[in-house]
Amino acid sequence: MDKKHLIRVSKRLSRNLRHAPGDIGITLASDGWVEVETLLAALARHGTRLSRAQLDEVVEGNDKRRFAFDESGLRIRASQGHSVDVDLELPAATPPDVLYHGTVSRFLDAILSEGLRPMQRHAVHLSATTETARAVGARRGVPVLLTVDARGMAEAGHEFQVSANGVWLTAAVPPEFLRRLP
Ligand code: HQG
């Protein structure tokens, strides 16, 4: 598959495995998984013909490893980023002392006064490195970076999880744990 096609299919998967499974007539399990066969049949009915080998290629080739198969290889899900009601049942994890969040200046006042909220997604997404946070912010404009006192949050009882593709997730970040990175 050429790169353009790979990206097109991966956008389609993001949409259907995170936000709008109903668009292709599938239902996700409560923990986000769907049978590969069901997915491929549904995609085919909606104009995206894909072999299992091609699906493997999309999963392997995805820049952020957004999708994962289960241990049997028979089911697939998005590793994070959902807006539909799923519980990925990720175990609680101890975060590094500091995590990062990339955003843009127009959100800054709201974020510094009310903290980070999950907005359309299920959790606030935090990055382990400034490079990743910068790339996340840059999707919306000139990136502004915030540091998150993850250690302080953990000590205060906030829970963290890390997705299969290395994104740190937490329900919300109160403003006292945030600082703008100069
Ligand atoms: C902002 C992509 C106002 C927040 C990326 C962000 C990431 C607030 C936006 C992943 C706010 C939400 C997640 C508040 C947060 N007031 N604005 N209180 N709290 N915000 O896309 O973190 O390609 O839902 O700063 O690479 O940008 O989808 O979250 O700008 O990994 O795999 O509200 O999505 O990955 O935006 O990105 P998003 P995000 P994928």
Query: Does CATH place domain 3-78 in 3.30.70.1450?
Result: no
Quick: pLDDT tens for 29-88.
Answer: 999 999 999 999 999 999 999 999 999 999 999 989 999 999 999 999 999 999 999 999
The single-letter code of the amino acid at 156 is A
Sign of the Cα torsion 134, 137, 143, 146 reads negative
Burial 91-105 (b: 16+ CB within 10 A, else e): eeeebeebbbbbbee
How high is the pLDDT of residue 23?
Answer: 97
Report if pTM > 0.85: yes
Question: Residue 141: what pLDDT?
Answer: 97
Question: What pairs with residue 98 in β-bridges?
Answer: 149
Q: Is the CB of 111 under 6 A from ligand 1?
A: yes
In terms of pLDDT, which residue wins out, 63 or 109?
109
First to last CA, the chain: 42
Q: For position 33, what pLDDT does the model report? A: 98
Residue of 37 and 1 predicted with greater confidence: 37
CB atoms within 10 A of CB 129: 12
C-alpha 49 to ligand 1 mean position (Å): 31
Apex 161 CA angle, 159 and 103, nearest 5: 90
Residue 119: C-alpha distances to residues 83, 123, 179 (Å):
9, 8, 20
Give the distance between the most distant pair of CA atoms in the chain: 50
Determine if ligand 1 sits within 6 Å of the CB of residue 107: yes
Instruction: Break the chain into its structural domains and give their ranges.
Output: 3-78, 98-180
User: What is the mean pLDDT of the segment spanning 83-112?
Assistant: 97
Quick check: 182 pLDDT over 90? no
Strand order in the sheet with 178-180: 98-104, 143-149, 178-180
Q: What is the pLDDT of residue 34?
A: 98
Q: In CATH terms, are 3-78 and 98-180 the same topology?
A: no
- How much is the pLDDT for 97? 98
Question: What does each C-alpha distance from 175 to 39, 56, 140, 142, 182 come to in angstroms?
Answer: 41, 41, 21, 22, 17
Q: Whose CA is nearest to atom 3 of ligand 1?
A: 107
Q: If pLDDT is split at 50, 70 and 90, which confidence band does 8 have?
A: very high
* CATH for 98-180 (3.20.170.30, 3.40.367.20, 3.40.50.2300, 3.30.230.10): 3.20.170.30
pLDDT tens digits, one per residue of 130-165: 999 999 999 999 999 999 999 999 999 999 999 999
Determine the pLDDT at residue 115: 98
User: Which atom of ligand 1 sits closest to the CA of residue 121?
Assistant: 24
